Amino acid sequence: MTASLMHTRNIAIIAHVDHGKTTLVDKMLQQGHVFRDNEVVEERVMDSNALEKERGITILAKNTCIFYQDYRINIVDTPGHADFSGEVERTLTLVDGVLLVVDAFDGPMPQTRFVLNKALRMGLRPVVVINKIDRPGARPVEVQNEVFSLFIELGATDAQMEFPVVFASAKKGIASLDAEVEGKDLIPLFDTIINYVPPPEVDENGPFLMQVTSFEYDSYVGQIALGKVVRGKVAAGETIARVVDGALVEKNKVKKILSFEGLKRVEVPAAKAGDIILIAVFEDLRIGDILSDVTDLGSLPPIEIGEPTISLEFMVNNSPFCGQEGKFVTSRNLRDRLMKEIRTNVALRVEETASPDAFKVSGRGELHIGILIETMRREGYEFQVSRPHVLYKGEGAQRQEPYEYLVVDVQEDYVGAVIEKLGPRKGEMLNMAPQKDGHVRLEYLIPARGLLGYRSEFLSDTKGTGLLNHTFHGYGDYKGEIPGRINGALISMETGETVAYALEGVQDRGVLFVGPGVKVYEGMIIGAHSRPTDLAVNPCKKKHLTNIRSSTAEDAITLVPPKVLSLEQALEFLEDDEILEVTPEALRIRKRILNEQERRRASKK
């Protein structure tokens, strides 16, 4: 093994959402002298996507590199949410070790279990970082024991069980090997990575071989593939082969090779085994494709990606407002965009349907699909989506459905309300444990469809103070019917602009989703009815002028502020006979059949 390979470390940082891994990467980059001393650096610099910055979560896995002493440490920052597990699964193939970041207060959470299980099954060497040790109520020693128990539960090998533990405060940029001793910098973490994570296990002398795990785009050379060279070396100008399912598909010359230095991409003349690189060579690559020496076609195991668990329909917008707000509105636009997405979003499935204007899209969860919808509307697409449904396996008595492992942290006062709601949703309680500060942690195994539409209820029941986290557990027996939405809908019977006078009369019937001055159409849902039945209302009715002066004529109209639904809340609200209209400017919930008389006739069939 060459000296340069001995001084290379490839690691992925994995954690539950909001346990501080992206902040830790920020500090590692700073103390690795990636930035100038006088350079202004924004927080969570690795979260470069606009949606990532807004939501405070990592959606796309990203690569960077730091230099410590004479070592090169390649770092992959991975998503913490299980809905983006496709990103985690493929990027773990790039690395030889993982930093498992765990909150010193929360301890291991559902996504911690999920990503750690993936890493252990791939034989990666873990380094545990117990973060936020300066947080009030932190319990680093107890959390260390909980992590140890989790390793045992997940079947870690003896070598993996001997994981080193680093106690850190990513916000302060400090780390220590002793929970009682406050660190001064991240040097203990760097040293632990170098001493414990092995160098890449690759073949330096064989013919060139690498697997495509991600893509970037360059305006000059087009598609650039990211991957780790697992065998041999490659140079710019060389001719290499693209191999799919063991067969040669095409040959081409390497246009450009890029390596990572901090957050920059630096062009290099060649790359060798163990390097994580970007390579511009073929135009139509897919994730999992093999790039190989032309004289000795190689092969690698396919990248295993978990199956989707929910699906919904993407449809061309046919509402009365169609084509008014979006740039891309046709079925061809929609199809091309979805087909482009599945080239890089490996956990997504897109299928044609009997209708040329509708496509079945399957993903790992509501957030996974929701991010795609939000991205598309920001790009100028206008379309409609149906209510999400879970994907079953088998038929009849053999039918199985996906289950979620659910962890709920709530104050003691709200435990009863949560248990009462999860019962009818077929949730099975696994554990109930008191926490500090009057909180209780509930652990459930629950059908995935039992969680559809529950988050909004949960936040209402806990007055916004509860935390709800879940991850895919596996398939199990079908649990029978689960009650759906308990509220009917307030449906506009007119097309026009909402008027405060009319809304004042309607708001007593339920919760409004729109305020005055909003354009609506017949069949559009403007609120949730306080009763289980749907109710047609006229939100556009104006007050008629009269010669007679009323004693109440000067009374001010008082409106309750409308409940403006987010994308996820709108998807949760939907019933089977409803669809969500998505445009760059608005989200509108509507009935599939807009006319009230036609809806009544259809309901009698």
pLDDT of residue 220: 75
Calpha distance 328→323 (Å, rounded):
8
23 is in an annotated binding site: yes
* Region of poorest pLDDT, from 21-30, 82-91, 163-172, 470-479: 82-91
Alpha-carbon span 63 to 90, nearest angstrom: 13
| Section 147-163 average pLDDT | 89
Higher-confidence position of 584 and 68: 584
498 is in an annotated binding site: no
Q: Any binding-site annotation on 132?
A: yes
477 is in an annotated binding site: no
pLDDT of residue 445: 93
Q: In the prediction, which pLDDT does 21 show?
A: 74
HSE on the CB side for 95, CA within 13 Å?
33
At 110 the pLDDT is 72
Query: Of 18-27, 443-452, 468-477, which range is least confident?
Result: 18-27
Q: What is the pLDDT of residue 338?
A: 92
pLDDT at position 80 over 70: no
301, pLDDT greater than 60: yes
pLDDT at position 386, please? Answer: 93
Which of the pair, 315 or 93, is modelled with greater confidence?
A: 315
Span 17-44, average pLDDT: 64
In terms of Cβ atoms closer than 10 Å to its own Cβ (0-12, 13-18, 19+), residue 265 is: middle
Only one residue has tokens 């008082």, namely 558
Q: What is the pLDDT of residue 315?
A: 94
Residue 363 pLDDT > 90, yes or no? no
pLDDT of res. 555? 60
pLDDT at 156 over 80: yes
| Confidence bin at 62 (pLDDT 50/70/90) | low
For residue 317, pLDDT beyond 90: yes
Q: What is the dihedral of CA 442, 443, 445, 450, to 10 degrees?
A: 40
Tell whether the model's pLDDT for residue 438 goes beyond 70: yes
Least confident stretch, 22-36, 176-190, 268-282, 427-441 = 22-36
pLDDT tens for each residue of 565-580 = 888 889 888 988 999 9
**pLDDT at residue 498, as a whole number:** 92
Instruction: Confirm or deny that 133 is annotated as ligand binding.
Output: yes
**158 annotated as a binding-site residue:** no
The answer, yes or no, to whether residue 58 has pLDDT greater than 50, is no
pTM: 0.75
Looking at mean pLDDT, say which of 68-72, 295-299, 401-405, 544-548 comes out highest: 401-405
Domains of the chain plus CATH, in order, are: 3-196 (3.40.50.300), 209-293 (2.40.30.10), 396-477 (3.30.70.240)
The verdict on whether residue 293 carries a ligand-binding annotation is no
Apex 64 CA angle, 60 and 65, nearest 5: 160
Q: What angle do CA 514, 520, 522 make, to 5 degrees?
A: 125
Q: What is the mean pLDDT of residues 406-435?
A: 89
Report residue 432 as tokens. Answer: 């109930």
Question: For the chain, what percent of residues have pLDDT higher than 90?
Answer: 22
Instruction: Give the whole-angstrom CA distance, residue 313 versus residue 331.
Output: 13
Average pLDDT over residues 281-305: 83
Of 467, 443, 470, 466, the C-alpha closest to 146 is 443
Please tell me the predicted confidence (pLDDT) of residue 171. 86
Q: Do the strands 383-385 and 578-582 form a parallel or antiparallel pair, or are they unpaired?
A: antiparallel
In angstroms, the CA 248 to CA 231 distance is 18
Q: Contact, 28 vs 44, CB < 8 A?
A: no
Average pLDDT for 97-125? 83
pLDDT recorded at residue 37: 46
- For residue 172, say whether it is annotated as part of any ligand binding site: no
Closest to 356 in 3D by CA, of 323, 330, 381: 330
Range of lowest pLDDT (243-247, 343-347, 547-551): 547-551
Q: Residue 22 annotated as binding?
A: yes
Q: Which residues pair with 389 in a beta bridge?
A: 311
